[in-house]
A and B are shown apart, each in its own frame.
Chain A
Amino acid sequence: MATEILMPALSPTMEEGTLAKWLVKEGDTVASGDILAEIETDKATMEFEAVDEGIIGKLLVAEGSEGVTVNTPIAVLLAEGETAADISAAPKSEAAPQGSDAPATAAQAAPAHAAPAAITPAPLEPDWPEGTELKQQTVREALRDGMAEEMRRDDTVFLMGEEVAEYQGAYKISQGMLEEFGARRVIDTPITEHGFAGIGVGAAFGGLRPIVEFMTFNFAMQAIDQIINSAAKTLYMSGGQMGAPMVFRGPNGAAARVGAQHSQDYAAWYAQIPGLKVVMPYSASDYKGLMKTAIRDPNPVIFLENEILYGKTFDVPVLEDYTVPFGKARIWREGSDVTLVSFGIGMTYALEAAEKLAEEGISAEVIDLRTLRPIDYDTILASVMKTNRCVTVEEGFPVASIGNHLSATIMQRAFDYLDAPVINCTGKDVPMPYAANLEKHALVTTDEVVAAVKQVTYR
């Protein structure tokens, strides 16, 4: 019986990919384990292996096709004794989208997708002078550029972590950096977070400016003693004699379907610690500009990235030396009815909600905090004094969240301006479940943000 071979999902976040190269041709006999094609995913080029044996009856998607969505039929596999004539009788394979009865055709496969549009805000006070040339970059590229520019500028800056050098980064952030800076400055470590974080802190005491990458911040829990007890407190304990000018960075928060031990937002944890600075950017230009500031800062900086944002495209200014200061929020959208405060990936929900609310005639002002230590209280308070209502949005747990802290601050400093209690939209008070339906509910949703706004605006 002829079966369809479908475009595979090869990573947790892959939705589509490029069929870079066919390694088989029509008429070839293949066995389980044979490499059929090379497929470029959002992270890497991967070899795609045959699962079943058979004869390649037809290649449905030409090599070089971009934007082939997962589960699109890409080839037909014939069983022994079948011929190409049997292809039209090929049953829909198990994973084909339900409800479409049309036979697989080449036309249906491989729609040529345009490059994803950049997310462009209308910032009230742009971070760059008017007329500056802009280019579209992913968060991943902008972050790498930020690090690389600082490494060119200052020889004491180096990058260390698991798989950062030869593998080019587990999430491809340090792509090309080993080649440019060599093994002295781009250093693969064993899987020993507590140890290499400590070595990083010691190197900072010793006059270097380490960037310590955690493959994800979940694994930084192994190292948190060195981060807090050694990096954050030494300046104070030494009466200002020595400290740890360094950056701890890596993806933070939920990715997709990786379960409880790999999906946690640590923003509130680190924001609690005096002696640390904490950055959690949303846009590519902020990733770049804040990373450069973080590397130059004379204190330990926690730089919280997000795997889902890595592939998102934004406008980035083409400037010689673009930095963004700590403690300055960015207003992404001006509004008069409610203030939405968020940071990092939470901004996606806040901006989406603002869009939906606008359709219903509710005008939301959307503030991206960008840094959580220091926090730009002035921008939040000025906005709340204007709108008289506030909803905070974050992916982390609800108890002792950043939103809780903002609510308390607003209550103390703008109590008379509030027309409704501040609502905190957060992730649910449960470990992250694996099941797809449960995971969706465990995360904060745009609908929850919209509902919260309606509650504070009494609609």
Chain B
Amino acid sequence: MATRKTKAKSNTSPEELKAFYKDMLLIRRFEEKAGQLYGMGLIGGFCHLYIGQEAVVVGLEAAAKDGDKRITSYRDHGHMLACGMDPNGVMAELTGRIGGYSKGKGGSMHMFSKEKHFYGGHGIVGAQVPLGAGLAFADKYKGNDNVTFAYFGDGAANQGQIYETFNMAALWQLPVIFVIENNQYAMGTAQNRSTSTPDLYTRGAAFGITGEIVDGMDVLAVKAASETATAHCRAGKGPYILEVKTYRYRGHSMSDPAKYRTREEVQKMREERDPIEHVRTMLLQGKHATEEALKDIDKEIKAIVSASADFAKESPEPDLSELWTDIYATQDA
């Protein structure tokens, strides 16, 4: 067991860089559109945007294979897009329409896709972490080499059930990667106001779980960490902790007065550490892509996102009979 800080860089290719650029841009544009639809009243309730954190899920997914599972909190749109869920289905869930992944019954915070092994979308802070270990338990039980990515925030990292889970995951050597998305704030609480020691990646030490801190604004660093962690889990060595340092640009949810940090702090992050700009620069400086080619990608992404918004507006509301369905499962015929 060790805790460490890695600077490992993953091997990459121009194709992969372009794919990262595209995947991250899709999340960003999708979230901007969601914010806009919220402002227009088409999306209601809570809506937590992922803008700024795109490199985290895109980098982690880069080392995932078919059969791997993922589970996260309410800030889930990026995770769904990154694992290949259909933007139309995600956006239509946000507008509460029948074409959404949960037929409009779940909303922004509660969305699922069995096909893509996306186990939600959970509204209760921290609750998804034991669930993620349970998914890993099932895989180990079945004897395959799948891993589960269990994502949670810096605020969630204080919930007691996470430490109960750490203990059991280590005790039973479960193939689960605990991904702490440390965006430095839990709602209006800066991490240093809620956490007695700042380094969350060391929190598994008492249970013998290896932890690693990762620059979450650098998709290649995240990918490298994901490769290490997945290899560890697949080799049957038990759980792994990744503390991924990231930043959310927008408010906690739509109704966030944002008085707990300065506009300059956000602006500085955007200007100096933006994960998408980072890849864009690599592509241009390495001469892997021209401005023109990137503009084409931008256009392509814009078209996907506006199609998803159109779909989400046109998809009808669920039939009233849906109120009474899916409460109990029925025996398979």
Contacts and interface: CB of A to CB of B under 8 A. Distances in A.
Contact of A433 (B189, B255, B313, B322): B322
Interface string B86-110: 0000000100110000111111111
B318 A256 contact: no
B258 A8 contact: no
* Interface class of chain A by DSSP: loop
Most chain A Cβ neighbours within 10 Å, of B122, B194, B249, B260:
B194
A261 interface: yes
B2 interface: no
Interface in A237-262: 255-262
Interface string A430-457: 1101111110011000000000000000
Interface stretch (A77-85, A159-167, A417-425): A159-167
Given A46-B257, A222-B124, A434-B106, A190 B195 contact: yes
Nearest to B104: A435
Interface stretch (B31-39, B56-64, B222-230): B31-39
Contacts of B207: none
A430 B323 contact: yes
A339 interface: no
B125 A9 contact: no
B193 interface: yes
Contact of B323 (A47, A94, A433): A433
Contact of A11 (B108, B189, B255, B318): B255
A262 B41 contact: no
B235 to A, nearest CB: 34
Interface residues of B, number: 59
Interface string A29-48: 00011010000010111111
A189 B125 CA distance: 14
A433 B40 contact: no
B19 interface: no
Contacts of B105: 260, 433-435, 438
B187 A167 contact: yes
A192 interface: yes
Given A191-B158, A259-B107, A167 B189 contact: yes
B271 to A, nearest CB: 11
B46 A6 contact: no
* Interface class of chain B by DSSP: loop
Given A70-B41, A95-B41, A262-B123, A435 B96 contact: yes
Nearest to B40: A95
Given A163-B189, A188-B189, A438-B105, A259 B110 contact: yes
B208 interface: no
Interface string B246-267: 0001010011111110010000
A219 interface: yes
B39 A10 contact: yes
B324 interface: yes
A8 B40 contact: yes
A195 interface: yes
Contacts of B258: 46-47
Interface string B311-333: 00100011010111001000000
B255 A14 contact: yes
A261 B160 contact: no
B41 A71 contact: yes
B134 interface: no
B255 A257 contact: no
Contacts of B110: 259-261, 434
A8 B36 CA distance: 8
Interface string A170-195: 10000000000000000011111011
Interface in B20-63: 32, 35-36, 38-42, 44-46
B318 A192 contact: no
Contacts of A91: none
Most chain B Cβ neighbours within 10 Å, of A8, A35, A218:
A8
Most chain B Cβ neighbours within 10 Å, of A12, A32, A433, A442:
A433
Contacts of B39: 6, 8-10, 48, 51
A33 B263 CA distance: 12
A428 to B, nearest CB: 7
Interface in B63-77: none
B157 to A, nearest CB: 9
Interface string A1-23: 00000101111101000000000
A438 B104 contact: yes
Given A41-B255, A191-B194, A258-B45, A434 B107 contact: yes
B159 interface: yes
Contact of A9 (B32, B38, B263, B313): B38
Contacts of B255: 10-12, 14, 41, 43-44, 46
Nearest to A46: B257
A95 B42 contact: yes
B126 A191 contact: yes
B130 interface: no
B187 A163 contact: yes
A258 B44 CA distance: 7
Nearest to A42: B255
Contacts of B324: 430
A434 B195 contact: no
Contacts of B36: 51
A35 B251 CA distance: 13
Contacts of A255: 45
Given A190-B194, A191-B125, A259-B110, A434 B45 contact: yes
29 contacts: A12-B44, A12-B46, A32-B32, A47-B263, A51-B36, A162-B187, A163-B187, A188-B189, A188-B193, A190-B158, A190-B195, A191-B186, A192-B159, A192-B160, A195-B160, A222-B159, A256-B44, A257-B44, A260-B105, A262-B45, A262-B109, A430-B324, A433-B318, A434-B104, A435-B96, A435-B97, A435-B107, A436-B44, A438-B323
- Sorted nearest first, the 6 A-B pairs with minimum C-beta distance are A434-B107, A257-B44, A8-B39, A11-B255, A257-B45, A95-B40
Given A43-B255, A261-B124, 9 more contacts: A95-B42, A167-B260, A190-B186, A258-B107, A260-B105, A261-B123, A434-B44, A435-B97, A435-B105
Interface of A: 6, 8-12, 14, 32-33, 35, 41, 43-49, 51, 70-71, 94-95, 162-163, 166-167, 170, 188-192, 194-195, 218-219, 221-222, 255-262, 428-431, 433-438, 441-442
